[in-house]
Chains A and B, each alone.
Chain A
Amino acid sequence: MTGWEMVVGLEVHVQLKTRTKMFCGCENRFGAPPNSLVCPVCAGMPGSLPTVNRKAVELGMMTGIALGCRIASRTMFDRKNYFYPDLPKGYQISQFDRPLASGGSFRFPFGGGSMEASITRAHLEEDSGKNVHDASTDGSFVDLNRAGVPLIEIVTGPVFRSAREVSAYLAALKQLLQYIGASDCNMERGSLRCEPNVSVRKAGSTSLGTKTEIKNINSFKSVEKALEYEFRRQTEALESGGRILQQTMLWDDVAGSTAPMRSKEEAHDYRYFPEPDIPPLEIAADWVERVRASMPELPDARKRRFVESFGLREYDAAVLTASRDFSSLFEECARLWPNRRRLCSLFITDLLSILADEKIEVCDSRLSAQSVASLLRMEEEGAVGKNQVREILAELAKAGGDPPAIAASRGMVQLRDEDEIGALVTKAIAESPESVADFRAGRGKRAIGFLMGNVVRAMNGKGDPKIIRRLLVEKLENQSRS
């Protein structure tokens, strides 16, 4: 398949994190009993009227601003007409030629460097309901809880040339939207959905081939698989003399393939027209400025600040700022604990894997900056060792608490009695004359490492490593002199 190039543009639908729906006061919540969050407006009852949710507009503005877009001074809603059982009104309220935001660009990390995607537009619309299928019956079932949930649709130009670029963009977009609190971007729950437009062309060509649109991709893992499958399908069709039909393909995650959507013989003809029930929305410049001023720091800015003000390495700062909550916790801790390097290794080496193993989100964990600082103070004073720090940290993440109390309740307090440790050190040296020989021959590091291990084991890990090391060095030096 050499000589062909993939060209992809993305439409990403993101559910906005509002309390209520786009045009009515029903709750915007995932997982409620079917049809329990429905009213005459989102059920499309005759005579009901939509009213625009200010918060949804503001989250949409934030999204547009974060993606470098212009925010329209006057934006409009339009009806997009089609019939489908999950669309109770027979039309979706969307935005057609006056989107909320347009003309942006978004720079994101890719392959050690970075890449820029042009953002054509970002517009507000309402989500559809959900169809539920059951093979055992003659009908299909509809749940309208999702109908009317606010969405922002983010459209890029045809800027991606590989599935990996698309993945990198999606990961960065998700991070950005979570930072600004626009969405939780949970693809499995459908709060972020991506629909790539894919075409292929001969490498070096500047014209675009006929594109297909892929729907039904519901995990980050599937995005690359679906794109690579569709790329192969199109190039094989063209190489065998066929042509590409402009159509919508459905991704089948189990089969790992795409197939044309059957009901699409009719060309798209949505007959958009201005929504007569919603007058145009004027957006004054000072409103945009207020929203801009209320926006939290974006991931890239936070990463740079971590490098500059905490003296962290670029890579570490990127890991720490991957999520807003994680980086905010780090920052609170950094205010209380001046040794940023130790703090950084605690977060990256220990805390990340603890949270992943225990499947705890930072925001759900019981960690506080005070408890982390108290834990590191115990470590610095030699009261606990590295392994114990990790164990206490895991307990803090799961259940919270007071580090000294956790250490005491687990019998973790380190033994620091120098007579006791000294006796064990003398015994270890006596049992290992070859280490003494190593030490004399200038291989002190090896000798001390070996003996440290023996003493730590003899004390079941409860001896203070600093004291053990100091006594070992003292005694080995004494022996060498004698």
Chain B
Amino acid sequence: MEIDDELARSILKLAKLKLRGDEFGEYRRRLQEILEYVGMLDELDLKSVVPTACAADSSTILRDDDGTESSGRDRILSNAPSRAGAFFKVPRIIDQGGCP
């Protein structure tokens, strides 16, 4: 897979990153190198191997539906860059449709 300028720009946009002009070429090249490195795996014959999503081979541990204390509003909001009363404050959102 080739990371061309267009794909690199799209990734930047999705990740909401801004790079200077000279950084752009550098990161495009590094991304390409990473893919090529991982691409070594393609040389292996893995047809009979079940895809792995996690190094742990046990099933996930489940939690009982019992409550724990929430942190309290002030502690949670104390980490926010900006707050307004009981809420986190963020730059004005134009669309009101929730998640995309």
Interface residues of A (CB under 8 A from B): 18-20, 24-27, 33-40, 43, 45, 51-57, 76, 81-87, 92, 128, 131-133, 137-144, 215-216, 248, 250, 261-264, 266, 268-269, 271, 274, 276, 278-282
Contact = CB atoms under 8 A, between A and B. Distances in A.
B70 A27 contact: yes
Nearest to B61: A51
Contact of B68 (A26, A131, A261): A26
Given A56-B65, A279-B59, A133 B96 contact: yes
A250 B95 contact: yes
A40 to B, nearest CB: 7
B57 to A, nearest CB: 8
Contacts of A132: 87
A327 to B, nearest CB: 27
Contacts of B69: 25, 39
Nearest to A128: B99
Contacts of B97: 215-216, 248, 250, 261
Given A56-B65, A131-B90, A278-B60, 16 more contacts: A20-B66, A20-B67, A26-B68, A38-B71, A40-B71, A43-B79, A51-B62, A54-B62, A82-B100, A84-B98, A131-B96, A216-B96, A248-B97, A250-B96, A274-B54, A280-B60
Contacts of B91: 85, 139-140
B63 interface: yes
A262 B60 contact: no
Interface in B39-89: 53-54, 56, 58-73, 76-77, 79, 82, 84, 86-89
A16 to B, nearest CB: 10
Nearest to B57: A279
Contacts of B59: 279-282
B18 interface: no
Contact of B100 (A39, A57, A248): A248
Contacts of A51: 61-63
B53 A140 contact: no
B14 interface: yes
Interface string B15-56: 010000000000000000000000000000000000001101
30 contacts: A24-B68, A26-B67, A34-B86, A36-B72, A39-B70, A39-B76, A40-B71, A43-B71, A51-B62, A52-B60, A53-B63, A54-B62, A82-B99, A83-B16, A128-B99, A131-B98, A139-B90, A139-B92, A140-B89, A140-B92, A142-B87, A142-B88, A144-B76, A216-B96, A261-B100, A269-B10, A274-B54, A279-B56, A280-B60, A282-B59
B65 A53 contact: yes
Nearest to A74: B59
Given A128-B98, A276-B54, A141 B84 contact: yes
B70 A279 contact: no
Contacts of A87: 99
B54 to A, nearest CB: 5
Given A25-B63, A53-B62, A281-B59, A86 B87 contact: no
B63 to A, nearest CB: 4
A24 B70 CA distance: 9
Contacts, number: 160
B1 interface: no
Contacts of A92: 99
The 7 A-B pairs at the shortest CB distance, nearest first, are namely A25-B68, A55-B65, A141-B87, A274-B53, A282-B59, A54-B62, A34-B86
B93 A19 contact: no
B76 A35 contact: yes
B100 to A, nearest CB: 6
A310 B67 CA distance: 43
B54 A36 contact: no
A271 B14 contact: yes
